[in-house]
């Protein structure tokens, strides 16, 4: 209790900003949650209730205060085929399994492996995500239109009429201007909340006097937002080998997608706040949130980088902002349906455009020759993969591509200095790293046919890293042995010596202490 009181006193000055930031995030979550429901093929209310449960539980156990979690596009896309083929009960069971997998990853402390994600991959992911968010907003500039094709009525999306398009664009610009410039007036209230509130008031006045009707959250959802508390629900799912074979691939992919997004979001928030989050604890929090969500009839979720940035930009710094966002969203669902329904999409689009501007790493366009060309390639590839595929695939491709490029570059940096030794021996002094990427270059350094009867491979300034390196040394030694010549290894460093000695029974390598 004393620890809680101490933590409260330490962070008390942050709570006002946390509260207001949480309200702002809750408002922005509403249309996104509704949109994700359409992607997944579930009701808007189910998606909103998912955002409440995920957001609340994750905020309590989070390892990165200030991070926002809810239902997300990434999870929706992964689980949509499962929902379409097998229904909601399979969805709920899958979400429970997602939670179990993520909890296990957090408990076994596998979060440390996220450190292998290069900075160029993070930049590419952020740029790609900014483009995805930007492109997604144009759906708000479209309306449904019924057309008749071969005597059959179909509904298709069409752009707003030119005048309506320009008016909505004007309100988007108004929201962005308020968010951008209001902090110069005062920072006591988050500018994003002011922008949404102001445009909402203008929209209500225009509608009241029959001057113009801006498209609202109610128009977007197609129904009025009315709902209740999430309830406890045990998935009606028969645990059999056949059913587990159906849900496990979805659960495994979704869990990795969710944790990848959480890991990258945590790193971004760390950079923005100059603090350090706890990766494994955050993985546990994400897993426990999904586990609980599966038993409340939810669709699963993970960290939201866009809303997390909104939260941080609005002043949110502690877990209180996440708790406020989830609580406010629940209150909006229960008690403020008419007010939420009246929020114009133009204000929320303006907010998301501001998020796009702050998410995109503009400095990556100015690096020029200051960074290697391969890093530029990785940034571009990961950005494109994020837009056209998905986050997890983009990050995996980026890490693999970075690894291959690193191996290629390191493999080329292998040097040799050839000197004469005692009794006519020839000494190859190797300088560099011997590993799978450099073994071909290593083998090309030697000339067994023309070398004298005895050669020495001096490894004092070399590092032998893996089995491929051992195999390469052994293959060189065998070539000399087959020609009736002697090949010795000299002065290996401690780790290298251990590798060589462990492999002495399966190789032809002979260690000689002196050159």
Same domain, 256 and 331: yes
* Whole-number pLDDT of residue 16: 84
Same domain, 247 and 384: no
Domain residue limits at 316: 14-135+215-342
pLDDT tops 70 at residue 109? yes
Same domain, 395 and 420: no
Q: How far is CA 378 from the centre of its chain?
A: 16
* Whole-number pLDDT of residue 300: 93
Q: Decide if 333 is inside a domain.
A: yes
- Residue pair 324/60 in contact (Cβ under 8 Å)? The answer is no
Q: Decide if 299 is inside a domain.
A: yes
pLDDT tops 70 at residue 225? no
- Residue pair 476/470 in contact (Cβ under 8 Å)? The answer is no
Confidence band of 216 (pLDDT split at 50, 70, 90): confident
Average pLDDT, the chain: 85
pLDDT tops 90 at residue 295? yes
| Residues facing residue 146 across a β-bridge | 155
pLDDT tops 60 at residue 1? no
Q: Decide if 220 is inside a domain.
A: yes
pLDDT tops 70 at residue 13? no
Q: What percent of the chain has pLDDT over 70?
A: 91
pLDDT tops 70 at residue 251? yes
* Whole-number pLDDT of residue 192: 81
Same domain, 222 and 256: yes
Same domain, 398 and 419: no
What are the tokens at 77?
Answer: 């896309």
Confidence band of 503 (pLDDT split at 50, 70, 90): low
Confidence band of 118 (pLDDT split at 50, 70, 90): confident
- Residue pair 77/390 in contact (Cβ under 8 Å)? The answer is yes
**Using one digit for the tens of pLDDT, what is the confidence trace for 365-392?**
877 777 788 888 899 999 998 888 776 6
pLDDT tops 90 at residue 133? no
* Whole-number pLDDT of residue 283: 94
* Whole-number pLDDT of residue 102: 95
pLDDT tops 80 at residue 188? no
As a whole number of angstroms, the distance between CA 400 and CA 388 comes to 18
pLDDT tops 90 at residue 205? yes
pLDDT tops 60 at residue 506? no
State phi, psi for 214 to the nearest 5 degrees.
-80, 140
What are the tokens at 255?
Answer: 């869990």
Same domain, 237 and 321: yes
pLDDT tops 70 at residue 26? yes
As a whole number of angstroms, the distance between CA 35 and CA 132 comes to 14
- Residue pair 457/490 in contact (Cβ under 8 Å)? The answer is yes
- Residue pair 371/93 in contact (Cβ under 8 Å)? The answer is no
Read out DSSP for 232-243? ---------HHH
Distance separating the N- and C-terminal Cα atoms of the chain? 68
Q: Decide if 328 is inside a domain.
A: yes
CATH number, residue 453: 3.30.750.24
Q: Decide if 63 is inside a domain.
A: yes
Same domain, 435 and 379: no
Q: Decide if 280 is inside a domain.
A: yes
Rounded to an integer, the average pLDDT of 170-193 is: 87
User: Which residue, of 308, 342, 376, is where some domain finishes?
Assistant: 342
Tokens 């759906």 sit on residue:
139
What are the tokens at 387?
Answer: 């837009």
pLDDT tops 60 at residue 401? yes
- Residue pair 318/20 in contact (Cβ under 8 Å)? The answer is no
What are the tokens at 150?
Answer: 């071969």
- Residue pair 266/282 in contact (Cβ under 8 Å)? The answer is yes
Rounded to an integer, the average pLDDT of 176-184 is: 90
pLDDT tops 90 at residue 93? yes
Same domain, 475 and 391: no
- Residue pair 351/192 in contact (Cβ under 8 Å)? The answer is yes
Same domain, 247 and 121: yes
Q: Pick 90 or 257 by higher pLDDT.
A: 90
What DSSP designation does 445 have?
T
Rounded to an integer, the average pLDDT of 65-78 is: 87
pLDDT tops 60 at residue 515? no
Domain count, the chain: 3
137 CB neighbour count, 10 Å cutoff: 18
Same domain, 434 and 386: no
What are the tokens at 147?
Answer: 């057309």
Beta strands in 103-186, from DSSP E residues, in sequence order = 142-149, 152-159
User: Exposed e or buried b for every residue in 409-423, given b needs 16+ CB within 10 A?
Assistant: eebeebebeeeebee
Same domain, 430 and 319: no
pLDDT tops 80 at residue 509? no
Q: Decide if 164 is inside a domain.
A: no
pLDDT tops 70 at residue 181? yes
What are the tokens at 474?
Answer: 């052994």
Pick the range with the lowest mean pLDDT from 15-29, 184-198, 330-344, 488-502: 488-502
Q: What percent of the chain has pLDDT over 90?
A: 27
pLDDT tops 70 at residue 314? yes
User: Which residue, of 285, 307, 342, is where some domain finishes?
Assistant: 342
Q: How far is CA 196 from the centre of its chain?
A: 27
Q: Decide if 173 is inside a domain.
A: no
**Using one digit for the tens of pLDDT, what is the confidence trace for 416-452?**
888 888 778 899 999 988 888 888 888 888 989 999 9
pLDDT tops 70 at residue 404? yes
Angle (nearest 5°) at CA 53 between 52 and 56: 80
Same domain, 128 and 228: yes
């Amino acid at each position: 209790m004393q620890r809680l009181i101490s933590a409260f006193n330490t962070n008390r000055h942050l709570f006002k900003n946390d509260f207001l930031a949480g309200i702002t995030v809750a408002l922005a979550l509403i249309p996104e949650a509704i949109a994700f429901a359409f992607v997944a093929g579930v009701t808007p209310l189910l998606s909103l209730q998912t955002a409440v449960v995920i957001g609340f539980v994750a905020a309590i156990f989070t390892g990165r205060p200030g991070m926002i979690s809810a239902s997300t596009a990434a999870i929706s896309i992964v689980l949509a085929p499962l929902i379409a083929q097998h229904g909601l009960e399979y969805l709920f069971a899958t979400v429970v399994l997602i939670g179990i997998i993520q909890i296990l990853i957090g408990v076994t402390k596998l979060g440390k492996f996220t450190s292998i994600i290069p900075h160029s991959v993070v930049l590419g992911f952020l740029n790609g995500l900014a483009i995805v968010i930007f492109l997604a907003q144009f759906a708000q500039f479209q309306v449904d239109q019924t057309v008749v094709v071969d005597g059959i009525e179909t509904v298709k999306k069409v752009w707003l009429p030119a005048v309506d398009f320009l008016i909505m664009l004007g309100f988007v610009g108004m929201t962005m201007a308020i968010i951008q410039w209001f902090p110069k007036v005062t920072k006591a209230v988050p500018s994003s909340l002011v922008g949404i509130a102001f445009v909402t008031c203008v929209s209500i006045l225009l509608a009241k006097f029959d001057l113009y009707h801006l498209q609202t959250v109610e128009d977007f959802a197609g129904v009025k937002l009315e709902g209740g508390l999430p309830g406890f629900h045990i998935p009606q799912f028969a645990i059999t080998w056949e059913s587990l074979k159906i849900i496990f691939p979805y659960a495994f992919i979704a869990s990795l997608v969710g944790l990848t997004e959480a890991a990258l979001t945590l790193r971004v928030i760390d950079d923005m706040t100059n603090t350090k989050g706890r990766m494994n604890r955050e993985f546990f929090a994400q897993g426990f949130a999904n586990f609980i969500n599966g038993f409340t009839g939810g669709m699963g979720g993970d960290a939201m980088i866009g809303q997390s940035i909104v939260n941080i930009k609005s002043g949110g710094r502690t877990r209180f902002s996440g708790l406020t966002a989830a609580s406010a969203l629940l209150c909006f669902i229960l008690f403020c349906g008419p007010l939420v329904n009246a929020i114009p999409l133009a204000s929320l689009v303006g907010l998301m455009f501001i998020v796009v501007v702050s998410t995109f790493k503009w400095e990556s366009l100015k690096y020029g020759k200051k960074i290697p060309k391969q890093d530029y390639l990785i940034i571009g590839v990961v950005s494109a993969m994020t837009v056209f595929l998905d986050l997890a695939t983009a990050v995996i491709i980026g890490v693999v591509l970075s690894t291959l490029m690193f191996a290629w570059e390191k493999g080329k940096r292998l040097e040799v200095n050839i000197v004469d030794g005692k009794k006519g021996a020839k000494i190859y002094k190797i300088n560099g790293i011997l590993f799978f990427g450099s073994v071909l270059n290593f083998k090309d350094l030697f000339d067994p046919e023309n070398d004298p009867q005895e050669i020495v491979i001096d490894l004092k300034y070399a590092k032998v890293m893996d089995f491929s390196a051992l195999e390469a040394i052994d293959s060189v030694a065998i070539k000399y042995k087959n020609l009736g010549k002697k090949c010795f290894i000299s002065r290996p460093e401690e780790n290298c010596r251990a590798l060589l000695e462990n492999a002495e029974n399966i190789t032809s390598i002979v260690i000689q202490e002196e050159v």
